[in-house]
Amino acid sequence: MLNIAIDGPAGAGKSTIAKLIAKKYDIIYLDTGAMYRGAAYFCMQNNVSPKDHREVERLLPKLDMDIIYEQGVQKVFVSKEDVTPNLREVAMSQAASDVSKIPSVRIKLVEIQREIASKRDCVLDGRDIGSYVLPNATIKFYLTADEKVRANRRFLEYKEKGVETSEELVLKDMQARDAQDTNRDFAPLKIVSDAIVIDSTDLTINEVICKMSERIDGVINS
Ligand code: DC
């Protein structure tokens, strides 16, 4: 089984790169962040704050999440409803980070991630793929970039979508989320010793893909 792990902080370009890698190698892309966003959405739908550990844990047994691929595109279903269009909203990013701190939430979602990765060749992006979800992944990347550059990229994405915000606010939110994801106790964001670190600050998307492909081809052909 080919399992490519891409971890890294917010706005590093993981999802853009993972989608292109999936296309190039004709494998599926598993966006694990979307699953935490789906869990956060479920909490909010049920009037439970994603920060309220006790209430989230009480609600968790009712969380029924399915990951479905339609024409190769991942959809997140919660209680049999496709919630994918709701997951990229700005508020959902921090809510996903909040809910992802809760170990029982992670254990439930990681089980689904491991199940998918055991059955299909895939590229997964997230925070803990190489360190916790798939410590034996075929190849592990840690994709990062200067935080101001990451904030600028995210800001431009929002602008294109018509979301009103400022670059300063995006940077502040991103710093808060990265700090929370890095400092949580259970499966935090970190660089594992066998990860290939790619800093995309001065690289184009195509250059990142070339660097990753060289390494992936090296492993596939060895
Ligand atoms: O990748 P993203 O921005 O969609 O992720 C949203 C949040 O979900 C992120 O701030 C932390 C959490 N997350 C996580 O803890 N572990 C993952 N594997 C993926 C995301």
Task: Look at ligand 1, atom 13, and give the residue with the nearest C-alpha.
Answer: 33
Q: Which has the closest alpha carbon to 131: 62, 189, 69, 78?
A: 189
What rounded mean pLDDT belongs to the chain? 97
Question: What is the pLDDT, as a whole number, of residue 211?
Answer: 98
| Confidence band for 53, pLDDT divided at 50, 70 and 90 | very high
Residue type, 54: R
Q: Which CATH superfamily is domain 3-205 in?
A: P-loop containing nucleotide triphosphate hydrolases (3.40.50.300)
Pocket, ligand 1, Cβ cutoff 6 A: 10, 32-33, 36-37, 93, 96-97, 100, 126-129, 177, 181
Q: Which has the closest alpha carbon to 35: 139, 126, 136, 134?
A: 126
Cα distance between residue 199 and residue 120, in whole Å: 28
34 CA: nearest ligand 1 atom = 4
- Domain ranges for the chain: 3-205
**Helix, strand, coil percentages, rounded to 5, for the chain:** 55, 15, 30
128 CA: nearest ligand 1 atom = 18
pTM equals 0.97
